[in-house]
């Protein structure tokens, strides 16, 4: 039987890293769906550009699935960034690029009863926003708020499908990479050795972008399905991350951290974007997130030294 890949989010930070790591000899065809018109990087890869989710995407996806029989590995890694100012239009795009696209893909797979090897779907560690617990695992019950509800809806597009036993939900922490938003936002002030931390201190669940495809490769060899806290097992606070990042990037090789109470941050964000401020605020309110399922599976992190990772950024 032929083996194919269906890839959503190929042009994104994480998707591009996963694609570069794929052993293409293991697959017959790779279909990358994107809104961007770009040239395919290999003969095996087809770039399928679409204009809208409701009609064009569905039509082109059905065409690909009907013309290419085989077993499929699915990557669902779309999602507009939550960094920056969030208004009603950006919220719609955040929802659409995560939930609506997932729904469309899953419903089309179900419609044609497509045989699936594995579905890997991105999610966010933000589900633990303002958790009453100091430590959380995949089994910790999330609270009821805009952040958790977004993530639960996102995850349920897969978890409530016919493919639940073939699916892995990767709850990602802060993805560290030179092209990441966090790097871009911190690089300039870090040159001057300055950083802002919000107190009381929160943990900083992180993962190096190059680790993600290694985890996926490891999971392809297991029968695991379910939710994974896809974060490193080296637990640090946001303040510790800032100190290391700034020291590495500054001219003086020193860090000067300004501590600001979280209440000030919360009130400022609530004033600027009252309906959606929790999405940004959640980035600075994380408890200690433990990748319990990865630990139980015996996975050993290759990139778990934050100082070494920062040096590569």
For residues 273 and 132, give the distance between their C-alpha atoms in angstroms, rounded to a whole number: 25
Sign of CA dihedral 189, 193, 199, 202: positive
CATH of domain 3-175+205-232+289-299: 3.40.50.720
Question: Which DSSP state fits 141?
Answer: P
pLDDT on residue 313: 84
Residue ranges of alpha helices (H) inside the chain are: 13-21, 58-67, 88-95, 101-111, 146-159, 181-191, 211-219, 238-249, 262-272, 277-281, 292-296, 306-312
The helix/strand count (H/E) of the chain reads as 12, 13
d(CA 235, CA 203): 7
Token reading at 294: 């990865």
CB 246 within 8 A of CB 193: yes
Q: Residue 35: its pLDDT value, please?
A: 84
Picking from 168, 144, 151, 176, the residue whose alpha carbon sits closest to that of residue 79 is 151
- Phi, psi at residue 293, to the nearest 5°? -70, -40
**Residue whose entry in the numeric block shows the structure tokens 């990557």:** 75
Query: What does the alpha-carbon distance between residue 171 and residue 292 come to, in Å, rounded to a whole number?
Result: 12
pTM assigned to the model: 0.94
Q: What pLDDT was estimated at residue 301? A: 97
Q: What is the pLDDT of residue 130?
A: 85
In the chain, which residues have pLDDT < 70? none
Between strands 226-230 and 256-261, the pairing is: unpaired
């Amino acid at each position: 039987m032929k083996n194919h890949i269906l890839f959503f989010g190929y042009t994104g930070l994480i998707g591009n890293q996963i694609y570069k790591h794929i052993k293409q000899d293991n697959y017959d065809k790779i279909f990358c769906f994107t809104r961007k018109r770009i040239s395919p990087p290999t003969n095996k890869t087809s770039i399928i550009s679409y204009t809208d989710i409701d009609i064009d995407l569905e039509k082109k996806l059905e065409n690909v699935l009907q013309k290419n029989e085989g077993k499929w590995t699915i990557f669902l890694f779309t999602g507009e960034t939550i960094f920056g100012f969030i208004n009603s239009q950006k919220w719609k795009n955040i929802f659409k690029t995560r939930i609506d696209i997932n729904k469309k893909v899953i419903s089309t797979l179900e419609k044609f009863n497509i045989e699936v090897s594995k579905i890997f779907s991105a999610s966010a560690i933000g589900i633990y926003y303002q958790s009453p617990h100091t430590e959380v695992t995949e089994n910790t019950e999330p609270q009821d708020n805009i952040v958790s509800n977004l993530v639960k809806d996102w995850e349920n597009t897969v978890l409530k499908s016919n493919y639940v036993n073939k699916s892995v939900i990767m709850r990602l922490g802060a993805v560290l990479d030179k092209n990441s938003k966090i790097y871009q936002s911190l690089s300039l002030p870090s040159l001057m050795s300055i950083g802002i931390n919000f107190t009381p201190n929160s943990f900083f669940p992180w993962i190096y972008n190059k680790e993600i495809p290694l985890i996926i490769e490891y999971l392809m060899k297991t029968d695991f399905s379910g939710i994974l806290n896809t974060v490193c097992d080296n637990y640090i606070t946001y303040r510790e991350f800032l100190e290391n990042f700034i020291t590495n990037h500054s001219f003086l090789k020193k860090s000067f951290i300004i501590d600001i109470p979280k209440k000030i941050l919360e009130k400022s964000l609530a004033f600027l974007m009252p309906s959606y401020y929790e999405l940004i605020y959640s980035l600075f309110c994380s408890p200690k997130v433990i990748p319990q399922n990865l630990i139980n599976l015996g996975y050993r992190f290759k990139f778990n030294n934050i100082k070494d990772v920062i040096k590569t950024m």
